[in-house]
């Protein structure tokens, strides 16, 4: 079995930060989202991985993942010139996939528990497709599956205006090579894209077996700023362990599950977990509250920060209250006017803000 990770697209919902960084490389708990995907694929025993990349951000993806040896995997990069749909990505990867069954995984999705059981169910049941589903509050935003009373998949539709169920297709699928025939039989949707949902429906229409697996744990789609903050909160809460490798002076308190990496210094500050602080950071005279990730080489001084993601090599200075914020790489954020007390920001990389 092979794996196909979709790591293309332009990340328009996360601009301006995705003007300079691929959305799949944005950090959750100080680890790129794509690395969680790689971890889960490797843990499922799949070692041959194709990564679909775009012209805009492909070089960044290649620089981060390299040859896949960090995961004991072999990685092949596949260029998709235009983001013309998930099924189009499969067409683009046809040469890599060959006649192998494959796991398809959207590179900006996170799920709890990994995909090992999902892959085992596919191997045992041997359907033409196995789709992962999750109950959601607003299924109109997703592909939606309809099951019969025997829990068999009977119909799929992409982003319906009036969904018949609340079962959304998580961006994780398993296919036999027959999916290529199904894709060849579909046409672009009203969005101008080849929808993988339509291809799976084509399998159903041809009498092929499509099975489903309902995810009981969390599923996080990190396509927007608030989604990324929620992913950071959930992952910190679920996975972070206390580990203090950096320096902490006697005037500071590290409360709860706090991870401080090598080279970082905590001085006269309170860190209340879950909080992840990357390498070579400086935290001085500050409070870092729960559900915050501070990227490598960042300085926080005389500030109060909570429920935020701060990327590497940024400076946060004299900010009374920064919360629910996403701060890009190399941002300098300083307060020079006492009128500003509490702020929420979404700041692209290499910016300077004086408030």
Same domain? For 293 and 227 the reply is: no
Same domain? For 310 and 200 the reply is: no
Q: Is 251 helix (H, G, I), strand (E, B) or coil?
A: coil
Alpha carbons 328 and 68: distance in angstroms, whole number: 26
pLDDT tens for residues 166-211? 999 999 999 999 999 999 999 998 888 899 999 999 999 999 999 9
Same domain? For 19 and 143 the reply is: yes
Is residue 286 within 8 A of residue 308, CB to CB? The reply is: no
pLDDT tens for residues 5-49? 999 877 677 777 777 788 899 999 999 999 999 999 999 999 999
Largest CA distance in the chain: 69
Measured torsion, CA atoms of residues 106, 297, 355, 227, in degrees rounded to the nearest 10: 20
Domain end position, chosen among 235, 261, 285: 235
Same domain? For 59 and 177 the reply is: yes
Q: What is the pLDDT of residue 225?
A: 85
Alpha carbons 257 and 275: distance in angstroms, whole number: 7
- 195 Cα distance to chain centroid: 20
- CATH number for the domain spanning 316: value is 2.160.10.10
Instruction: Give residue for tokens 């489903």.
Output: 212
Same domain? For 14 and 36 the reply is: yes
Same domain? For 278 and 302 the reply is: yes
Alpha carbons 175 and 173: distance in angstroms, whole number: 7
Q: What is the pLDDT of residue 338?
A: 66
Alpha carbons 21 and 11: distance in angstroms, whole number: 9
Same domain? For 209 and 297 the reply is: no
Instruction: Give residue for tokens 């789609």.
Output: 221
Domain end position, chosen among 218, 235, 252: 235
Residue spans of the chain under pLDDT 70: 11, 337-341, 354-355
Same domain? For 271 and 197 the reply is: no
Q: What is the pLDDT of residue 18?
A: 78
Domain range for residue 266? 241-354
The DSSP call for residue 190 is T
Same domain? For 117 and 230 the reply is: yes
Specify the number of domains making up the chain. 2
Same domain? For 85 and 223 the reply is: yes
Q: Is 336 exposed, middle or buried (0-12, 13-18, 19+ CB in 10 A)?
A: exposed
Same domain? For 191 and 146 the reply is: yes
Same domain? For 68 and 198 the reply is: yes
Domain end position, chosen among 235, 267, 299: 235
Alpha carbons 353 and 175: distance in angstroms, whole number: 48
Is residue 154 within 8 A of residue 147, CB to CB? The reply is: yes
- CATH number for the domain spanning 100: value is 3.90.550.10
Instruction: Give residue for tokens 């803000």.
Output: 353
């Amino acid at each position: 079995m092979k794996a196909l990770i979709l790591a293309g697209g332009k990340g328009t919902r996360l601009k301006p930060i995705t003007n300079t960084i691929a959305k799949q490389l944005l950090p959750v708990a100080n680890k790129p989202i794509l690395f969680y995907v790689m971890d889960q694929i490797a843990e499922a025993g799949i070692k041959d991985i194709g990564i679909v990349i775009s012209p805009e951000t492909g070089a960044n993806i290649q620089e981060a993942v390299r040859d896949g040896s960090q995961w004991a995997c072999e990685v092949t990069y596949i260029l998709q010139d235009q983001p013309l749909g998930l099924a189009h990505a499969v067409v683009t990867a046809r040469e890599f996939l060959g006649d192998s069954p494959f796991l398809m995984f959207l590179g900006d999705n996170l799920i709890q528990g990994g995909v090992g059981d999902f892959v085992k169910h596919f191997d045992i049941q041997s359907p033409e497709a196995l789709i992962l589903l999750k109950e959601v509050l607003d299924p109109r935003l997703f592909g939606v599956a309809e099951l019969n009373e025997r829990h068999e998949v009977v119909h799929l539709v992409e982003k319906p205006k009036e969904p018949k169920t609340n079962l959304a297709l998580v961006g994780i699928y398993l296919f036999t090579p027959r999916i290529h025939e199904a894709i060849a039989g579909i046409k672009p949707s009203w969005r101008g894209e080849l929808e993988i949902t339509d291809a799976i429906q084509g399998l159903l229409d041809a009498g092929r077996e499509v099975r489903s697996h309902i995810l009981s744990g969390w599923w996080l789609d990190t396509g927007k700023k608030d989604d990324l903050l929620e992913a950071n909160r959930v992952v910190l809460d679920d996975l972070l362990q206390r580990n203090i490798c950096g320096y902490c002076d006697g005037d500071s308190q590290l409360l709860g599950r706090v991870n401080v990496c090598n080279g970082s210094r905590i001085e006269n500050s309170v860190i209340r977990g879950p909080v992840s602080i990357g390498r070579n950071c400086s935290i001085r005279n500050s409070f870092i509250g729960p559900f915050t990730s501070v990227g490598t080489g960042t300085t926080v001084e005389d500030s109060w920060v909570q429920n935020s993601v701060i990327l590497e090599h940024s400076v946060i200075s004299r900010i009374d209250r920064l919360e629910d914020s996403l701060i890009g790489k190399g941002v300098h954020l300083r307060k020079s006017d006492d009128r500003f007390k509490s702020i929420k920001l979404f700041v692209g990389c290499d910016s300077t803000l004086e408030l």
